Structure 1
Amino acid sequence: MAITADPGPPSTAPAPPAPAPPREALRTWGRFVARRPRRVLTAALVAVVAFAALTPVFLARVLGIGYDTPGSESARATAAVEQALGAQEAVLLVLSSTERTSTDPTFTRAMDAALAVVRANDGVVDVPPADLAGRVSPDGRVEYRTVLLSGDAGDRQKTAKELKHDLEELDASPLGGPDIEIGLSGESPFFVDLLHSEEEGLAMAEAIGLPLAMLILFLTLGSILAAGLPVLTGLAGAVVALGVLGAASFWTEFDIFAENGVVMLGIAVGIDYALLIVRRYREERTRAGAEIALATTMATAGRTVVFSGLTVMVALLPMALLDVPTLSKYALAGLLGVAGSVAMALILLPALLAVMGDRALTVRLKRMRERGFEAGGASDRWDRLARWVMKWPAAVLTVGTCVLICAAAPLIDVKQGIDLNVRAYEDEPSVRTLTTLSSAFPGITLGRVEVAVAGDRDAAATAERILAEDSRLTGVAVQELDAESFLVTGNLTVPDDSKAAEDVVKTARTRLDAELGSAADADVGGTTARSIDYADKVLDKTPPIVIATLALCFLLLLVMLRSPVLALKAVIMNLLSIAAAMGLTVWVFQEGNGESLLDFSSPGYLQAWLPLTLFVILFGLSMDYEVFLVTRIREEYLRTGSNTEAIAAGLAKTGGVITSAALIMIAIFGAFMICPAPEIKQLGFGLAAAVLIDATIMRACLVPAFMKLAGGANWWCPRWLDRILPRLEHGEAPTSPALEMSSPLQAGRQRDRAL
C-alpha cells in the first residue's frame, strides 16, 4: 500500500512562514510522537506520577461546602463579632445517656473530660459557663454546652473535624461509660459530615460510572484494549487536575464541590476526547501507515479536541472569575479537569497508540467486523437518518423545537434557595446529635439570627425589640462588645434553611433599616443570613456571566468555523437544549415528581447555585458536540463542495462517536444521582438529561435540518469579517474567490441543486 501524505483541504494561498497554524503544528506533533513514542510516553507517565503525588494533598485539605459571601451584610456581621469576641460560630457539645443523669458522677466525669478536650484545641475561643450557655433536659439525661469557634469557614471546619475525632476517641474509652454518648452539632460539624458523605457518594458514583463507560467503549470500539485507552486517558487527566489543585491548596482552600468538578467534567470529557481520537486513528490507519495516520489524526481529531476543550474552558471562565468562592473554585477545578484531559489526549494517548501498534485497533466483536467497522467507521444508519431529516427539514425543525420548548416550560416557575439537606443525612453523627437535642429540648434549632449594631444603647434596644417581636425567635439577648457596638441575638424556632427562617431575616433587615435609618448600622448575620446573601449574590451575577459565556463561545466558534450563521445557530440551539434540560430538572426536583424514584425530599426549590452552574457546564458540553459534528461536516464540505453530502457524511462519520460519547457522559453523570446529597442528584440529573437531549434531538435532528435549510449560508462569511478573523489553518476560508470557483465546490453545488 502506497503511503502518501494527506494534502488537506484545497488552498489557493501559500502558507505563512510563521507561526504554524494549529492543524500543521498538530500534524508535526503527531509525526514526532510516531517516531519517538517511548520517549513521549515516559515523559507523560513521569508527569502523571508527579501530579499523582500531589493528589492526596488536595484530598486531605478538601472541605465541606460553605456559603460565605465576601462583602455581604452577613459577612460584615460575622467580621464584627469575630473582631470583638474572637469567635465566628457557636457549636454545641452534647452528652446524653439512656440510664444516667447529669448529676451522676460518671456523667459528670465524661462532661469534664469532653470539655478538657474541647478547650485544648487552638481553634476554640471559649466555652462559656454552663449557666450562660448550657442547659440540662428536664429528665436530666441530656446536657449541652456552647463552644465558640474562631476563623473562617475552612478554619472552623478543620477545628470541628479535629474535635469530632478527639471526642470519638473519648467516647470509645472507658471514661465515658458504655451508655454515654458524646456528640458535636452545629454548622461546621454538619459540613464535616456532609463532606464525608459526599466523598463516599463520589467513590460509589465512580465505581458505577466507570465500569459502565468501559462497557460502552467496548461495544463502540470492539475490543477491551481499545476501550481501556479512553478510560486511562480520562483518569490521567483528572489526576493532573487534582495534582494542580493539591499544589494550589497550600495557598487557598477548596471544598468538595471543586472535587466534583474534576471528577464529573474531567473524566467525562477526557474519555470522550480519547474516543474521538482512537476512532479517527483507526479510520486513518486503513489509508496510510502508522506515522502518517497518527499525524493526520492529530491534525483532524486532535484539532477538534483542542477546540472542543477550549469551548468548555471558555464557557467555564466567566464563572471562574466570580467572587463567590464555592462557584469560582468549582469552575476553576472543572477548567483544570478539561485542560488535563486535553493534554493527556494529545500527549499520553498518541504515545500509547504508537507503542501498542495495531493491537489497540483490532475489532474483536464479529458483528462489528461484519459491518465493515474496521474500514472507516462510517454508519449507514446515521447516513440514512441524516438524509431522511434533510428530506423534511422544516417539519423536523418545527417539531423538535416544540418538544424542547415544552420540556423547558417548567423553567418559567423556577425557585431558588439554600437547602442544607439535614434530613438527607439522618445517619451522620452531627444530625443524630441534633435529633437527640430536638427530642430533649422541643423547638431547639442550631439556627441563630445575629445583629451586629454599630451605635449607641438605644440602637441596640431597638434591634432587641424588633427581634423580640418576631414569634419565630426565642431567647433574644443583647451583648455589649465595646462602647459603641453591640451584638443582639435570637434563636430560631424554625429550621434555618426554611422559607420561614428566610422571612425572619428579611423582615428584620427591612425593619432595622426603616427604624434605625442613618442613626446606626445594623448588619444581620447567621446561617440563614449567609444563605440569603449567597443566593442573592449568585442571582445578581447570573446575567453578566451568561452574557459573557455566550459572547466568548460565539467568538470562538466564529473563529473556528468562519461562519456567522453556524456560530449563531450553535448559540441559539444550545440555549434551547439547556433550557429543556433545566426545565426537566425543575419538574423533577423542585416540583418533586422524582422523589420516590431518586430518593429525595423536595424543599420546593432548586439550590441557588444550580441554574447558573448547569448553564455554564451545559453550554460548554453542548458546544463540545457542536464542534465534534460541525468540524467534520465542514471538513467534508471543503472536500466535496456539497452541503447535502457534507451533512450526510459528517453525521454518518460522527454519529456513532457522538452517541457513544453521550452514553458515556450519561453513565458518569447519571451515577451521581445515587449520591445522598440532593444537590448532587440535581446536578447529575441535569447534566445527564442535557447530554441525552443534545445527542438525540439536537445533533441527530435539529442541526442537520437547520443546515439543510440554510444551504450555502452555512459557509458564508462577509469578506470584511473574513479578513479580520484569525486564520487557524491554511486555505480554510471558503469565501475566497479562488476557492469559490474550485471544482469540488462547483460540482458539489450542482449536486445540491439536483437534490
Structure 2
Amino acid sequence: MDILTRLAYLVIRRRRTVVTVWVLLAAACAPLALALPDRLGPGGFDVAGSQSYQVQEALGRDFDGGAADPAVVLLRGEDAAAAVPAVTAALEDVEGVLAVRPGLGFGGQEAGPGRAYLSVALAGGQDDQVRAAERVVETVDEAVPAGVTADVGGRAALYVDVNAVSKKDLERAEIVSFPLTLLVLLLAFGSLVAAGLPVLLGVASLVVTLGLLYGLSLVSSLSIYVTNTASVIGIAVGIDYALFVVTRFRQELRHGLGVEDAIARSVATAGRAVAVSGLTVMVALGGLFLVDVAGFRSMAIGSMVVVALAVAAALTLLPAVLAMLGGRVDRFTLFRHRPTTGEGGGWYRWSRLVMRRPALFLAGVVAVLLACAVPLLDIRLGQPSASTLPEGSGPRTVMEQVQQDVGPGAAGPVEVLVPTPAGAGSAAGSAALQAVASRAEQVRGVVSATVAGASRDGTVGRVVVLGNSVTQSAEGQETIRLLRDALVGAHDLPAGVLVGGQGASDLDLTSRVNSRLPWVIGTVLLLSLLLLTATLRSPVLAAKAVVMNLLSVGAAYGLMVAVFQWGWGADLLGFTSEGQIQAWVPLFLFCVLFGLSMDYEVFLLSRMREEHARTGDNEQAVALGLEHTARTITSAALVMVTVFAAFSSSRLLAFKAMGFSLAVAVLLDATLVRIVTVPALMRLMGRANWWTPRWLDRVLPRLEAVAPPPAVITLPDVEAARTTSRT
C-alpha cells in the first residue's frame, strides 16, 4: 500500500478531526487575511545595485531635498499660485517628505496661467516613497483651498493609484467569478453538493494562504501584488484539484466500490496527479526567484503557498468531507450526466478518429499554434506610464499636463550624477559638469541637459536631462540607453558617472528581466522534465509534454502581443495599447502557464498509464484514458477560463493582459493540445511512449502509482454496492 493510499485511509478514520482542524485553521486565518493588505509593501520592483537604484539612494542621502522620482503636485484654478504657500507648508510636515520646491524641480514654475506645480522629494526606497505619496495625496486634498483643484503625479503616486485600482478590480473579479464558476461546476456535476465541494476547497486554501502570508509579512517584506496573484492562482487550482478528485470518486462509486475504497483509489490516482501537478506548478513558480527582485519573490511566494495548500486540502480536507458525505455527494441532483462508457463513449470514438490520421491532425494543430505564436517575434518589453490608468486619475492628469506645458520628457526627467572630488563649485568641478551636460545634449532624443546643483559636501554634481519622448516609451528607453553609452565610462569624462531617474529605473527592471529570462526558462524546463520523467516513468512522454507546453505557451504569448502590443481588438476589450508589454507579465506568465498546463497533462497521462498497465495496448490505453478524463479536463479548463476571464476585466493593462493570456492559454491547452495532439503523438510514438532505460528506471524516485483495475462485480452485487456507497 503506497503512502497516498495509507494517507487516505488515515483521513477517513480521522475525518471529523481533519475537518475540525481545517475549520479552526480557516477561522484563525480569516481575520489575518482581512488585515493582510495593511502589511504589504506597495512597491518592490526596484533593482538593488542598479545605476537607477544607486542614483535614488544618493539623491535621498547626500542631496538636500533631492529625489530621482519626486511626487508632482498640480494645482489648477484662478487662485492656484496663491495656494502654493499653504500647500507647501502642509506638505513640509508630512512624514517621509524631504523637501517641497516650486515648479518641477529643474527650474522655474513651468506652468501656464491658472496652474502651479510643486515638486515633492520623498525619502527612502520604493515602498517608503509610495507610503509617503499616499500621505501627500491625503494632505493635498485637505490643504487645497476652495476653487482650486489638485492632483498628485509621479512614479510613487502612480503606484498608489495602481494598488487602489488593482484592489477594487480584484474584489470585483472575485464577485463575478465565483457564481460563474459554481454554474460551470453545476453543469459539470449536475449535483449541488458535488459542485459546491471544489468551491469549498478553493475558498479554504485561499483563506488559509492569506492568513499565512500575514505571518510571513511580519518577518519579510511582501509586495501588494501577492494578493492578486495568490487569488488568481489559488481559486483556479483549488477548484481544479477538487474537480479531479471528486470526479474520480464518483466514477469509482459507479464501478461498485464502497465509499472508503472509492476515496482511497481516488486519492491514489487523481490525488497523485494533483500532488505532482502542484509540485510542477511550484517548481515553475520557483523560477521567479532567479530574477532577484522583491516584487517577483512576493508573487512567487504567494502563488507557491496557495498551490501547496490547495494540494494539501485536496488530499486531506476533501477526502474527509467525502467520507462524511458518502453517496450523498450526489444529493440535490438537478440533472444527470450519462456516465463514461468506455469503448462506446464519444471521447473514445474521437480519440480513435484522431489516431487513424495522427500525422494530419498533429500537423494541423501545430500549424495553428505556430501561427498564433508568430507575433511573439515582435515582442517589446517595457514599463507602464500613467496613461495606463483610468482617465481622470491623478497621476495620468499630471503627466498629460506636464507633457503639454513642458514636453514629453519632463514627466520623467533623467538624473545624471557626476563625481566632482574637487568640489562642484570649483573650476574643475564646474567644467566636468558642463562637459557632461554638453555631451548629453548631443545624444539623439535629448532636448536639454541642465546642471541642477550638487550634494551637501560638493563631491557629486547633478545634471537633469529632458528627452523628447515619454521615458517609458520605446523611444524614451532608447534615449536612456544612448545616454549611458555616451556618459558612463567615457574616457574623457569623470569616472563614476551614474544615469538614473524614473525611466532609468524602468529600463533597469526590464534589463534584469531580459537577462534572467533564459535562466528562468531553462531551469523550469529542466526541473519539469525531471519531475515528469519520474512521475510518468517515461522520458519520451516527459519530453513530449514539455514541447507541447512550450507550443501552447508560445501561442498564448503571440496572441498577447497581437492584442496588447499591436492593439488588435483593443476597442473591444476597452484599453489603449502602449505598443509594448509590461516587462514582468511574460516572465510571470511563463512560470504560471507552464505549471498550470501540467495539470491536464499529468491527469490525462496518468490515467492512460493506468489503462496501459491494465490492457498492455497503447492505442486502447490512449482512447480509454481520454474517454475517462476528457469531460473532467474540459470542465476544469472552463473553470480556469472563467476565473481568468473575470480577472481580464481589470482596468490595469498588465492584469488585463495576464488574465487574457491565462484564459487563452488554458483554452488552447485543454482543447487543441490535450484532445488532439496528445492522442496523435501517442499513436505515432507507439511503444516508445512506455519505454524507460533500465539504468534510468533504477535511479528515478518512485512517484507514480498504477491503480489496480476496477473491481469486477456481478449483476446481483450492483444493488449491494450502491447501498454501500449510499451509507
TM-score, normalised via structure 1 length: 0.87
Secondary structure of the residue aligned to 1:613 is helix
Residue 239 of structure 1 deviates from its aligned partner by 1.7
Secondary structure of the residue aligned to 1:127 is strand
- Quick check: 518-527 or 64-73, which moved more? 64-73
| Corresponding residue of 2:380 | 415
Distance 2:165 2:515 in 1: 31
| Corresponding residue of 1:102 | 81
Residue 188 of structure 1 deviates from its aligned partner by 0.5
Distance 2:167 2:648 in 1: 14
Secondary structure of the residue aligned to 2:73 is strand
| Corresponding residue of 1:489 | 464
| 1:28 lines up with 2:23 in the alignment | no
Whether contact under 8 Å (2:413, 2:465) holds in the other structure is yes
| 1:480 lines up with 2:460 in the alignment | no
| 1:195 lines up with 2:174 in the alignment | no
Which residue among 313, 331, 348 is the counterpart of 2:317?
Answer: 348
Q: 1:654 to 1:421 in 2, by over 3 A?
A: farther
Secondary structure of the residue aligned to 1:674 is coil
Distance 2:561 2:646 in 1: 19
Residue 443 of structure 1 deviates from its aligned partner by 5.8
| Corresponding residue of 1:17 | none
| Corresponding residue of 1:663 | 638
| 1:262 lines up with 2:230 in the alignment | yes
Distance 2:224 2:469 in 1: 28
| Corresponding residue of 2:600 | 625
Pairing 1:322-337 to 2, within 5 Å after superposition: 322-337=291-306
Whether contact under 8 Å (2:565, 2:580) holds in the other structure is yes
| Corresponding residue of 2:278 | 309
1:9-62 Cα offsets, whole Å, 9 max, x none, are: xxxxxxxxxxxxxx7222122222222222110101111222223223321233
| 1:537 lines up with 2:512 in the alignment | yes
Aligned residue identity for 1:59:
P
Q: 1:464 to 1:299 in 2, by over 3 A?
A: same
Which residue among 514, 528, 533 is the counterpart of 1:558?
Answer: 533
| Corresponding residue of 1:20 | none
Pairing 1:112-123 to 2, within 5 Å after superposition: 112-123=85-96
Secondary structure of the residue aligned to 2:152 is strand
Distance 1:276 1:377 in 2: 18
Aligned residue identity for 2:95:
D
Which residue among 46, 49, 52 is the counterpart of 1:74?
Answer: 52
Whether contact under 8 Å (1:65, 1:195) holds in the other structure is no
1:419-476 Cα offsets, whole Å, 9 max, x none, are: 2252432222332344455566666733111111124513322222223445644461
| 1:640 lines up with 2:610 in the alignment | no
Whether contact under 8 Å (2:202, 2:235) holds in the other structure is yes
- Quick check: 190-199 or 460-469, which moved more? 460-469
Which residue among 70, 85, 92 is the counterpart of 1:90?
Answer: 70
Whether contact under 8 Å (1:123, 1:150) holds in the other structure is yes
Whether contact under 8 Å (1:270, 1:338) holds in the other structure is yes
Distance 2:448 2:214 in 1: 44
Residue 529 of structure 1 deviates from its aligned partner by 0.5
Distance 1:460 1:336 in 2: 51
- Quick check: 454-463 or 630-639, which moved more? 454-463
Distance 1:724 1:518 in 2: 60
Pairing 1:329-478 to 2, within 5 Å after superposition: 329-362=298-331, 364-368=333-337, 371-372=338-339, 380-435=345-400, 437=402, 445-456=410-421, 457=429, 458-469=431-442, 472-474=446-448, 476-478=450-452
Whether contact under 8 Å (1:63, 1:256) holds in the other structure is yes
Distance 1:120 1:235 in 2: 44
Residue 217 of structure 1 deviates from its aligned partner by 0.2
Aligned residue identity for 1:94:
L
Q: 1:378 to 1:424 in 2, by over 3 A?
A: farther
Residue 600 of structure 1 deviates from its aligned partner by 1.5
Whether contact under 8 Å (1:379, 1:653) holds in the other structure is no
Aligned residue identity for 2:140:
L
- Quick check: 217-226 or 113-122, which moved more? 113-122
Distance 2:527 2:447 in 1: 48
Secondary structure of the residue aligned to 1:419 is coil
Aligned residue identity for 1:188:
A
Aligned residue identity for 2:537:
R
Q: 1:279 to 1:378 in 2, by over 3 A?
A: farther
| Corresponding residue of 2:219 | 251
Residue 650 of structure 1 deviates from its aligned partner by 0.7
Distance 2:560 2:80 in 1: 49
Pairing 1:697-716 to 2, within 5 Å after superposition: 697-716=672-691
Distance 1:460 1:126 in 2: 24
- Quick check: 587-596 or 695-704, which moved more? 587-596
Which residue among 39, 45, 49 is the counterpart of 2:27?
Answer: 49
Q: 1:467 to 1:491 in 2, by over 3 A?
A: same
Which residue among 282, 292, 297 is the counterpart of 2:261?
Answer: 292
Q: 1:378 to 1:24 in 2, by over 3 A?
A: farther
| Corresponding residue of 1:582 | 557
Distance 2:506 2:343 in 1: 52
Which residue among 221, 240, 243 is the counterpart of 2:208?
Answer: 240
- Quick check: 130-139 or 390-399, which moved more? 130-139
1:461-505 Cα offsets, whole Å, 9 max, x none, are: 222222344564446123221343222123445322122321321
Secondary structure of the residue aligned to 1:255 is coil
Q: 1:361 to 1:134 in 2, by over 3 A?
A: farther
| Corresponding residue of 1:744 | none
Number of paired residues? Answer: 695
Distance 1:262 1:139 in 2: 46
Secondary structure of the residue aligned to 2:292 is coil
Secondary structure of the residue aligned to 1:145 is strand
Residue 729 of structure 1 deviates from its aligned partner by 5.7
Residue 258 of structure 1 deviates from its aligned partner by 2.2
Whether contact under 8 Å (1:93, 1:144) holds in the other structure is yes
Contiguous gaps of at least 5 residues in structure 1: 1-22, 734-755
Secondary structure of the residue aligned to 1:445 is helix
Secondary structure of the residue aligned to 1:69 is coil
| Corresponding residue of 1:144 | 117
Distance 1:198 1:336 in 2: 21
